[in-house]
């Protein structure tokens, strides 16, 4: 997959990444993108994993000892594909730093359906769960550091640790509710209301994502998005 970096979105890398170079195909090669990541201890770097999991469940020291070896740190350079349409997603990610875009190709355009950023989940979740080819691309829009866990390791933790089984259920509930609410918003809100809701929830995306991608995500033309942004500024 294009340029990759083994690091710690929040993501992780132990895998290579794909870079868009005109065409969707690209050379698969590894590279290191942030030497500073190696200076901190693994326990310090894994803090994002513990903070994220413990938003949902409490962990004992024994739980942490069982969970820690399963997570790997990955780094992706800007423009690298974390997962591409047709691949099977190998990791479930937590984002440490960076912004990623979830999209699918249609009539020569990339239709954006979501973003991931610090402290959120990333990756092609449907492919990860079903073990089937991805229907979405996941692209690093900025240099990104992710922590990832493989499917088999996560399933084993679900079986062996009741607290992780509860964690998995709560995550699934959150994702399902979030998707349902987004569909309601897309169908019932005006363009202005959708724009205002995005600014209320994720104002930083206006600086991190392109106007084209945000407009696609909000299901409006770039011209409409630009007009709303000028009107609200």
Whether 8 has a pLDDT exceeding 50, the answer reads no
pLDDT at residue 183 is higher than 60: yes
- The whole-number pLDDT of residue 124 equals 96
Task: Compute the Cα dihedral for 190, 196, 200, 206 and give only its sign.
Answer: positive
**Predicted pLDDT of residue 22:** 34
For residues 5 and 75, the answer to whether their CB atoms sit within 8 Å is yes
pTM for this prediction: 0.77
Residue 135 has pLDDT above 70, yes or no: yes
Confidence of residue 150 (pLDDT cuts 50, 70, 90): very high
Strand-pairing partners, residue 50, are none
User: In this predicted structure, what is the pLDDT of residue 49?
Assistant: 95
Residue 41 has a pLDDT of 66
B/e letters for 185-207, b = 16+ CB within 10 Å, e = fewer, are: eeeeeebeebbeebeeeeeebbe
- Of the chain, the end-to-end C-alpha distance in Å amounts to 39
% the chain with pLDDT above 70: 82
Return the pLDDT at 29: 29
Mean pLDDT, the chain, rounded, equals 83
Mean pLDDT of 119-130: 93
In sequence order, the β-bridge partners of residue 102 are: 114, 138
Give yes or no for residue 12 having a pLDDT over 50. no
CA distance 151 to 161: 15
* Residues of the chain by 3-state class (helix, strand, coil), percent to 5: 45, 25, 35
How far is 59 from 67, CA to CA, in rounded Å?
Answer: 10
Taking residues 145-150, what's their average pLDDT? 97
Domain 3-161 in CATH 3.40.50.720? The answer is: no
User: How far apart are alpha carbons 30 and 14 in whole angstroms?
Assistant: 9
């Amino acid at each position: 997959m294009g340029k990759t970096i083994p690091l710690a979105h929040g993501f992780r890398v132990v895998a290579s990444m794909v870079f868009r170079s005109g065409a969707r195909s690209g050379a698969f090669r590894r590279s290191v993108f942030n030497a500073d990541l190696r200076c901190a201890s693994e326990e310090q770097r894994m803090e994002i994993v513990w903070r994220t999991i413990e938003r949902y469940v409490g962990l004992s020291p024994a739980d942490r000892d069982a969970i820690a070896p399963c997570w790997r740190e990955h780094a992706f350079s800007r423009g690298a594909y974390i997962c591409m349409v047709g691949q099977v997603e190998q990791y479930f990610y937590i984002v440490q730093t960076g912004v990623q875009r979830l999209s699918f190709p249609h009539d020569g355009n990339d239709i954006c359906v979501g973003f991931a950023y610090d402290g959120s989940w990333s990756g092609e979740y449907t492919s990860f769960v079903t073990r089937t080819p991805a229907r979405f691309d996941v692209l690093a829009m900025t240099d990104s550091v992710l922590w990832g866990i493989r499917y088999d390791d996560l399933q084993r933790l679900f079986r062996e640790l009741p607290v992780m089984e509860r964690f998995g259920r709560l995550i699934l509930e959150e994702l399902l509710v979030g998707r349902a609410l987004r569909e309601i918003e897309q169908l019932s809100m005006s363009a202005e209301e959708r724009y205002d809701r995005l600014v209320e929830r994720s104002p930083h995306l206006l600086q991190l994502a392109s106007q084209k991608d945000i407009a696609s995500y909000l299901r409006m033309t770039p011209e409409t998005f630009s007009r709303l942004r000028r009107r609200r500024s």
